[in-house]
């Protein structure tokens, strides 16, 4: 009886969990990329745990597959704050990272939908991922990505998320 209860509880907690990703790639893409920069925005105290875990797992996944990557965590602007030149620091940080070791692809994570439980506990995170060729400044890859953690929250799915993103980029022949 105890095993049945534990199994039932596990199934209940994991229902509604998972990672989905759909992508498109430039049709006439003739090159692959060797040095990727990922820009991952976070909201302090709200998405910080998920983005920290995703950053670490992206770096581990890319590195273990012999792919160069740098992930920058950028604090998202407070939409209600009235600030002048609020993005100047982020732009400088990104430009320095691109020029430091000749990045050839930048992938921006653009938040589409963040769902919270009780207003602060992240339950699901949806992003549009946009891959931009540094040389041409054109989009070469785009994906819709969702990590839904159900009652556990998406932070526990950061490893699966990183692997799914990497696998899709490889399948779309974006990486070398």
| Separation in Å, CA 137 to CA 30, 105, 106, 107, 157 | 15, 9, 10, 12, 32
Contact status, residue 175 vs residue 61, Cβ threshold 8 Å: no
Report which of 48, 39, 37, 9 is spatially closest to residue 158, judged by C-alpha positions: 48
**pLDDT tens digits, 111-136:** 998 887 777 777 888 999 999 999 99
Pairing verdict, β 139-149 and 121-133 = antiparallel
The pLDDT tens digits for 18-77 are: 788 899 999 888 899 999 999 999 888 778 888 999 999 999 999 999 999 999 999 876
Look at the block and give the residue holding tokens 């799915």: 157
Secondary structure letter of residue 85 according to DSSP: S
Give residue limits of the domains in the chain. Answer: 16-171
CB 95 within 8 Å of CB 134 = no
Q: Which of 127, 90, 126, 125 minimizes the C-alpha distance to 108?
A: 127
- In CATH terms, the fold of domain 16-171 is Double Stranded RNA Binding Domain (3.30.160)
- Gyration radius from the chain CA atoms: 18
C-alpha closest to that of 113 among 121, 122, 105: 122
Q: Bigger pLDDT: 158 or 78?
A: 158
Q: What is the pTM of this model?
A: 0.82
CA distance 159 to 83: 35
pLDDT at 155: 59
């Amino acid at each position: 009886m105890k095993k049945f209860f534990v199994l039932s509880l596990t199934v209940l907690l994991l229902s509604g969990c998972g990672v989905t990703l759909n992508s498109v790639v430039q049709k006439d893409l003739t090159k692959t990329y060797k040095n990727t920069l990922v820009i991952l925005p976070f909201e302090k105290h709200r998405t910080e745990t998920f983005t920290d875990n995703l950053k670490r797992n992206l770096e581990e996944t890319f590195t273990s597959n012999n792919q160069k990557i740098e992930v920058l965590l950028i604090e998202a602007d407070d939409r209600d704050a009235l600030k002048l030149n609020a993005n100047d620091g982020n732009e400088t940080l990104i430009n320095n990272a691109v020029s430091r070791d000749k990045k050839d692809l930048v992938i921006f994570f653009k938040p589409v939908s963040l769902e919270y439980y009780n207003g602060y506990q992240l339950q699901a995170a949806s992003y549009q991922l946009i891959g931009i060729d540094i040389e041409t400044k054109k989009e070469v890859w785009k994906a819709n990505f969702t990590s839904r953690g159900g009652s556990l929250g998406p932070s526990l799915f950061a490893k699966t998320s990183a692997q799914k993103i990497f696998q899709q980029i490889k399948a779309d022949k974006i990486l070398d």
